[in-house]
């Protein structure tokens, strides 16, 4: 369905959101532009290596952080560089993440010309009080305007990220968010339940018992409302991802199917045929290493076939239709029984996993508590 993916990480944001534990720091545009100059050097370096640059990539994804914080011309130059140095498939999916306050006509037209064909907008909520409460720097009005601008610039493949389970969020708030989604009609949606990361500002507030979050019953109702409202219009194809027919995110499908990918930039992870390596995560140390031509790789490991099999199971079962277990066994030359013993048969007989021919998937009833099943397969 898709091939290796190329990922570029831009670890800068205008300011930090209260729930965020991603690899990003607050910075100004000058810093982001300087980083992109150094990232361009790393792109050149890896593209020249036959064992990774010699592959044909199906997707390019520029994520962060907030990539759209950079100058449009610098971002366009990075896309152009990737297209000229790496072999990208003719119909490659070229995506970038952007926040509403950084989306303008110049950014969109410049990137469209460079080949961008998918935009992922981090909106998170259409409620201004909730947005302020999580320290987002944009408003709902800016988000809606940004979406229409992107459409007006010819982007026919747009994703919106939303979060539910936010502090003080009510069922009515979430339903209004979903209605707004239906009115905008993006091609793709990523709807995440808020998770509290201990190292985020919310993690610290929670430790002090100073965070008011929706309870489990309300979260379950929100998930049910999501499926009820969206199912006539969107296909849920992954636990947290919905799309119009044929609009799955190809870059992420490759992750969920545990395919190969090359990640460049601070903290970016690569996994090429079982060799996994991770770049320096601190943006400034990363920049210094590139500048001084020293290695940016901080961790590398060769995954065993068993480890790859287990990871493939955990990722692949996130897909609603599951994946082809027989093909995985063939690809890694190891059987599910060698890895798990009788466990898969037990989960199957308990109705948690479903087997149909060569395919395996999570039973629909277990989707709301998917982690309970996936944790047994780690």
Binding residues (CB under 6 A) for ligand SF4: these are 13, 16-17, 20, 22, 24, 64-66, 99, 122
CB 51 within 8 A of CB 309: no
Strand ranges inside the chain, DSSP E: 5-10, 12-13, 25-26, 56-64, 87-98, 118-124, 158-164, 188-193, 235-238, 241-243, 261-264, 269-272, 275-279, 297-302, 323-324, 353-356, 359-362
- Integer Cα distance of 334 and 327 in angstroms: 10
Cβ at position 60, least distance to ligand SF4 in Å: 19
Phi and psi at residue 31, to the nearest 5°: -65, -40
Cβ at position 332, least distance to ligand SF4 in Å: 33
Cβ at position 175, least distance to ligand SF4 in Å: 23
Handedness of CA 84, 86, 88, 93 (dihedral sign): negative
Which residue, 158 or 317, is less far from ligand SF4 as judged by CB?
158
Residue 271, CA atoms < 13 Å, CB-side half-sphere: 15
Reading the block at residue 175, the tokens are: 């339903």
Which residue, 2 or 24, is less far from ligand SF4 as judged by CB?
24
Q: 3-class SS at 30?
A: helix
Cβ at position 66, least distance to ligand SF4 in Å: 5
Which residue, 213 or 275, is less far from ligand SF4 as judged by CB?
213
- Integer Cα distance of 377 and 311 in angstroms: 9
Which residue, 16 or 305, is less far from ligand SF4 as judged by CB?
16
Which residue, 2 or 124, is less far from ligand SF4 as judged by CB?
124
Cβ at position 278, least distance to ligand SF4 in Å: 18
- The count of other CB atoms within 10 Å of the CB of residue 118 is 22
CB 97 within 8 A of CB 146: no
Pairing status of strand 269-272 against strand 275-279:
antiparallel
Cβ at position 53, least distance to ligand SF4 in Å: 28
Which residue, 17 or 39, is less far from ligand SF4 as judged by CB?
17
Which residue, 122 or 316, is less far from ligand SF4 as judged by CB?
122
Cβ at position 299, least distance to ligand SF4 in Å: 22
- Integer Cα distance of 348 and 350 in angstroms: 5
């Amino acid at each position: 369905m898709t091939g290796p993916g190329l990922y570029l990480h831009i670890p800068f944001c205008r300011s930090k959101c209260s729930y965020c534990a991603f690899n990003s720091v607050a910075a100004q545009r000058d810093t982001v532009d300087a980083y992109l100059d150094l990232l361009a050097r790393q792109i050149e370096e890896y593209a020249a290596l036959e064992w990774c640059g010699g592959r044909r990539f199906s997707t390019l994804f520029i994520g962060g952080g907030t990539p759209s914080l950079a100058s449009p011309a610098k971002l366009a130059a990075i896309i152009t560089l990737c297209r000229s140095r790496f072999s990208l498939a003719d119909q490659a999916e070229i995506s970038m993440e952007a926040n509403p306050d950084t989306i303008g006509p110049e950014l969109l037209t410049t990137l469209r010309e460079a080949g961008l064909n998918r935009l992922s907008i981090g909106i998170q909520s259409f409620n201004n009080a909730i947005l302020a409460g999580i320290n987002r720097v944009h408003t709902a009005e800016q988000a809606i305007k940004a979406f229409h601008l992107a459409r007006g610039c010819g982007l026919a493949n747009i994703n919106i990220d939303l979060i539910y389970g936010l502090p003080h969020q009510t069922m009515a708030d979430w339903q209004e968010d979903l209605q707004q989604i239906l009115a905008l009609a993006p091609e793709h949606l990523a709807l995440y339940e808020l998770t509290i990361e201990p190292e985020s500002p919310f993690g610290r507030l929670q430790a002090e018992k100073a965070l008011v979050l929706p309870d489990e019953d309300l979260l379950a109702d929100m998930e049910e409302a999501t499926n009820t409202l969206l199912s006539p219009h969107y296909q849920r194809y992954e636990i947290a991802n919905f799309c119009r027919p044929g609009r799955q995110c190809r870059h992420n499908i490759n992750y969920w199917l545990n395919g190969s990918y090359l990640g460049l930039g601070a903290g970016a992870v690569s996994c090429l045929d079982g060799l996994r390596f991770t770049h320096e995560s601190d943006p400034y140390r990363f920049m210094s290493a590139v500048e001084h031509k020293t290695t940016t790789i901080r961790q590398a490991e060769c995954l065993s076939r068993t480890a790859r099999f287990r990871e493939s199971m955990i990722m692949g079962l996130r897909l609603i239709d599951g994946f082809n277990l027989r093909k995985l066994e063939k690809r890694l030359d190891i059987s599910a029984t060698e890895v798990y013993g009788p466990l898969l048969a037990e989960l199957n007989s308990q109705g948690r996993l479903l087997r149909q021919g060569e395919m395996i998937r999570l039973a629909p009833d277990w989707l709301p508590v998917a982690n309970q099943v996936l944790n047994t397969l780690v």
